[in-house]
Chain A
Amino acid sequence: MTRVSLLVRLVLVLRKIGHRFVDRLWRLGAGARLFWLTLVSSGESFKRPWLVIREVYFTGVLSLIIILVSAFFVGMVLGLQGYNTLQRYGSSEAIGVLVALALVRELGPVVTALLFAGRAGTAITAEIGLMKATEQLSAMEMMAVSPVARVIAPRFWAGVISMPILAVLFSMVGILGGYMVAVPLIGVDAGAFWSQMQANVDWRDDIVNGVIKSVVFGVACTIIALFEGYDAPPTAEGVSRATTRTVVTSSLAVLGLDFVLTSFMITV
């Protein structure tokens, strides 16, 4: 290979990297712009709350089954694994604390957000993408109705409301799953299970922080799902790619944000 062709290849690779970087940056800007537009166009959602309530049903209520069943299994696994470790140190009664803290502080918000992105996020992206592909959003624009105010904002607020409620329910059912394994199955004392949990789980540091995390994840997952749908090329391939991107981007955003939030919340 001559030096010139090597140089040409190098330039091409650099150009590709540059193009991808600029593209990502552009998408980040466009996403931020949609977020801002959604916030300033939210008046309609508050004036007509049924628009939001309807979406809470689709994003929140219909996600209940997957969230609650997963929570129960996660709680049971935590109970088994926790007991297995704690009994080596003779502190198997602390199983209640372990299950509750793990769920309330981390697993509740994070796993709920990941499941929410997979269940509700993909549904939102596909719906908005198809509305765009079938010119429904254009039709709305031509009727002098803003799609951001009428379609995007109600779904955004529905996601932001649903996520913390789902996360709290996840933690509750997870604790119940842990209890089922630890108390009736293994034989840990029920009184110790609950009293240690009550004594060691802090309202402000554990529960409120967990809820704050789930609100942030709710904002992130919902706006990512909405942006991907709104920005999707109006073709079958475009919508399918957007749906995949919703899951990937939301999951990475949730895990990244979790680290950032945890680092602010934990005092060493």
Chain B
Amino acid sequence: MIQNIVEIDNLSFGYKGRLLHKGINMVFPRGKVVAIMGGSGSGKTTLLRLVGGQIKPNKGEVRVDGKVVHQQDREGIYELRRKMGMLFQHGALFTDLSVYENVAFPMREHTELPESMIRDLVLMKLHAVGLRGAHKLMPAELSGGMARRVALARAIALDPEIIMYDEPFAGLDPISMGVICDLIRTLNDALGATSIIVSHDVKETFLIADYVYFVADGVVAAEGTPKDLEISSLPFVHQFVHGEKDGPVPFHYAAGDYKQDLMEMDP
């Protein structure tokens, strides 16, 4: 068995002539919770899409379970995706299906299980995220935190080997944030899966991650355990971890002379 279930090797990706990633190297060992952190627009979510084979790299490769993702045909990619579960930023629940049907969806599509077994599995998955009692509700009736938990139950419906989380804490209240935080770690350990978290919430991510990669300017700017990074003296990491307004990432977007801009008549 390959020790690293996902490997990103010298990966470059960009579009419209602009490179978003410039030679990124990362490894995701089995059973670990690994976080990818960085500012908005640094290409964190794009990395997840590259792992999932939704887009192809310009250079380098992503290997999932030893297989190069972009070299797979459609069947091969679907085969790899059956090993993955993904939690989207806003849940991406199917709005025309109930909570129950949302969680049952991957089971109905990929298995021939009898309805009684699907029912048991769905209720077990919902119980794991604390929402068994909400199985009859429609997505529109759920709060943001509940929707995220249902989406998590759906992501783990087929017991995936890799669970990917795209900004799992964004826009949640502190209680929901704590619940999701706890669930990510618990489910990862209970399922023996590997979790990849893309986030910019330092406190929550550092609580549950085993290893963290910082992405900035298209490269891995820093990496290490949360403890190492908390005391890191690297300017970018220090600014990010402590939420400082100014630093290597400037407060002001690049602009011309302030005085001259104010004097100009045209906007």
The answer on A and B forming one complex is yes
- Seen from chain A, the residues whose Cβ lies within 8 Å of a Cβ on chain B are 130-131, 134-136, 138-139, 141-145, 150
Q: Would A145 and B92 count as touching, CB distance under 8 A?
A: no
Q: Would A143 and B94 count as touching, CB distance under 8 A?
A: no
Residue of B nearest to A150 (CB): B109
Q: Would B86 and A139 count as touching, CB distance under 8 A?
A: yes
Q: Would B109 and A143 count as touching, CB distance under 8 A?
A: yes
Residue of B nearest to A48 (CB): B108
B40 at interface, CB cutoff 8 A: no
Max chain B Cβ within 10 angstroms of own Cβ: one of A131, A141, A142, A150: A142
Residues of A contacting B236 in the complex (Cβ-Cβ under 8 angstroms): none
Report the minimal beta-carbon distance from A147 to chain B, rounded to whole angstroms: 11
A134 to B93, CA, bound (A): 8
Evaluate whether A134 and B90 lie within 8 angstroms (CB atoms) in the complex, with A142-B52, A143-B106 already known. yes
Evaluate whether A144 and B110 lie within 8 angstroms (CB atoms) in the complex, with A138-B54, A139-B86 already known. yes
Residues of A contacting B78 in the complex (Cβ-Cβ under 8 angstroms): 144
Q: Would A142 and B95 count as touching, CB distance under 8 A?
A: no
B81 at interface, CB cutoff 8 A: yes
A135 to B148, CA, bound (A): 13
Q: How large is the interface on B (under 10, 10 to 19, 20 to 34, 35 or more residues)?
A: 20 to 34
Report the minimal beta-carbon distance from A262 to chain B, rounded to whole angstroms: 39
Cross-chain pairs A/B with CB under 8 angstroms, 14 sampled: A130-B95, A131-B94, A135-B92, A139-B88, A141-B52, A141-B54, A141-B81, A142-B84, A143-B81, A143-B106, A143-B110, A144-B79, A145-B106, A150-B109
Query: Interface digits, B85-110 against A, CB 8 Å rule (1 contact, 0 not)?
Result: 01011101111000000000110011
Residues of B contacting A134 in the complex (Cβ-Cβ under 8 angstroms): 90, 92, 95
- The one of B54, B79, B90, B94 that contacts A142, using a Cβ cutoff of 8 Å: B54
B82 at interface, CB cutoff 8 A: yes
Query: Interface digits, B52-72 against A, CB 8 Å rule (1 contact, 0 not)?
Result: 101000000000000000000
Residues of A contacting B95 in the complex (Cβ-Cβ under 8 angstroms): 130-131, 134, 136
Residues of A contacting B52 in the complex (Cβ-Cβ under 8 angstroms): 141-142
- SS class, residues of chain A in contact with chain B: helix
A144 to B89, CA, bound (A): 19
A138 to B81, CA, bound (A): 12
Residues of B contacting A145 in the complex (Cβ-Cβ under 8 angstroms): 105-106, 109-110
Residues of B contacting A144 in the complex (Cβ-Cβ under 8 angstroms): 77-79, 81-82, 109-110
Residue of B nearest to A149 (CB): B109
A136-B94, A143-B110 are known contacts; what are 9 more A-B pairs with Cβ within 8 Å? Answer: A131-B95, A135-B90, A141-B52, A142-B54, A142-B81, A142-B86, A144-B81, A145-B110, A150-B109
3 smallest CB-CB distances across A and B, nearest first, come from A139-B92, A135-B92, A144-B78
A241 to B88, CA, bound (A): 26
A130 to B52, CA, bound (A): 22
A143 to B106, CA, bound (A): 7
A82 to B150, CA, bound (A): 61
Report the minimal beta-carbon distance from B50 to chain A, rounded to whole angstroms: 12
Residue of A nearest to B79 (CB): A144
A230 to B3, CA, bound (A): 39
A81 to B95, CA, bound (A): 48
Report the minimal beta-carbon distance from A268 to chain B, rounded to whole angstroms: 50
Residue of A nearest to B157 (CB): A143
Residue of A nearest to B77 (CB): A144
A141 to B74, CA, bound (A): 11
A146 to B98, CA, bound (A): 20
Residue of B nearest to A58 (CB): B96
Query: Interface digits, B4-48 against A, CB 8 Å rule (1 contact, 0 not)?
Result: 000000000000000000000000000000000000000000000
